[in-house]
């Protein structure tokens, strides 16, 4: 825990960061935040400590620590909640509205980083980067009679069809990169503004026609388990599924069964339904499934932008003109 005292224009509102470690594991500077008031930064906060740690806070910053209606009603000095992310489902917006508390988020800070991870997964799967690296280290190239040791079929992206579910800011960035690789892009959800020759089609056609399907839609009750057995059954046997959006968009057991049964070619997954994952999560042992630990947002550049915008949001609130308000 870090604690600092600061003042801006006479303001002495107490700031509490509930889970600062994922945003800043030590490679960023909190100094601009210290200037805004008395500041206490916790690396992590368990649910039972939320109220005690926030008891005198006027401002709370949270990334993944949930602020329930009950929490909010027990914090009489609370005026502002800043979510250190784009998604704000960790805050009970109704409870905040009831108390007149301003809630803000940080939109679009990680667009390029997430799009980059999408293609890290795609290139790994289509060029078997992880597989070949492990095999070379295991001695298979050294034991090969040929200068080019080859074990599995590789794919070229040019000419393949990329299907995007959710053509928002990140979806459009992915579409632009896909077109640069020479891919045909089809999409569902959103508007294809400023994105080359993207063809908008119904969602089932995205799954049926695509060689690679990448998910970029928000999690809602309508999109929960969007990728289910029926939609996976529409996909080509060679098709790849990429999920850098939300784990609950995918029926994980259905995806694991499809991968283990050879119904689709592979999956690149950065998000799971429960994080950290339970040991029983079926994707942890599924064939041809590359898993990363929710790092699409976490490049240094993206985290630096996130912190800068979060601090700017607080400054705007203290000045009486809050920005990026979601409540």
294 noted as active-site residue: yes
Catalytically annotated residue among 246, 252, 303, 305 = 246
Catalytically annotated residue among 216, 294, 303, 305 = 294
User: Residue 276: is the preceding peptide bond cis (ω within 30°)?
Assistant: yes
Contact at 8 Å (CB) between 86 and 108? Answer: yes
Encoded tokens for 190: 């959103």
- List Cβ neighbours of 117 (8 Å cut-off, separation of 6 or more): 244, 270, 292, 295, 296
44 noted as active-site residue: no
Encoded tokens for 97: 């509205």
Contact at 8 Å (CB) between 140 and 160? Answer: no
For residue 54, give Cα distances in angstroms to 41, 77, 162.
11, 9, 46
Q: How far apart are CA 191 and CA 124, in angstroms?
A: 29
The residues assigned a catalytic role are 246, 275, 294
């Amino acid at each position: 825990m870090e604690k600092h005292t600061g003042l801006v224009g006479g303001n002495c509102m107490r700031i509490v960061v509930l889970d600062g470690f994922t945003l800043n594991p030590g490679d960023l500077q909190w100094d601009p935040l210290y200037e805004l008031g008395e500041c206490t930064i916790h690396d992590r906060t368990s649910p039972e400590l939320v109220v005690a740690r926030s008891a005198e806070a006027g401002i709370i910053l949270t990334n993944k620590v949930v602020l329930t209606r009950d929490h909010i009603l027990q914090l009489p000095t609370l005026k502002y909640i800043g979510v250190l992310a784009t998604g704000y489902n960790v805050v009970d917006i109704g409870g905040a509205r009831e108390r007149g508390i301003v809630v803000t988020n940080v939109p679009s800070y990680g667009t390029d980083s997430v799009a980059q991870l999408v293609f890290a997964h795609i290139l790994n799967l289509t060029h078997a980067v992880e597989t070949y690296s492990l095999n070379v280290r295991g001695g298979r190239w050294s034991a090969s009679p040929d200068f080019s040791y080859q074990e599995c079929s590789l794919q070229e992206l040019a000419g393949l069809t990329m299907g995007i579910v959710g053509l928002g800011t990140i979806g459009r960035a992915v579409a632009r990169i896909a077109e640069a690789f020479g891919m045909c892009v089809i999409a569902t959800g959103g508007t294809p503004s400023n994105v080359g020759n993207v063809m908008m089609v119904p969602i089932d056609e995205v799954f049926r026609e695509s060689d690679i399907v990448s998910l970029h839609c928000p999690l809602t009750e309508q999109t929960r388990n969007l990728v289910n057995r029926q939609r996976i059954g529409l996909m080509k046997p060679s098709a790849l599924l990429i999920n850098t959006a939300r784990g609950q968009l995918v029926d994980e057991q259905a995806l694991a069964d499809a991968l283990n049964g050879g119904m689709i070619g592979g999956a690149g997954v950065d998000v799971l339904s429960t994080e950290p994952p339970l040991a029983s999560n079926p994707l942890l042992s599924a064939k041809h499934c590359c898993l990363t630990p929710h790092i699409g947002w976490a490049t240094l550049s993206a985290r630096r932008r996130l912190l800068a915008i979060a601090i700017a949001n607080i400054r705007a609130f203290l000045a009486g003109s809050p920005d990026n308000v979601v409540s």
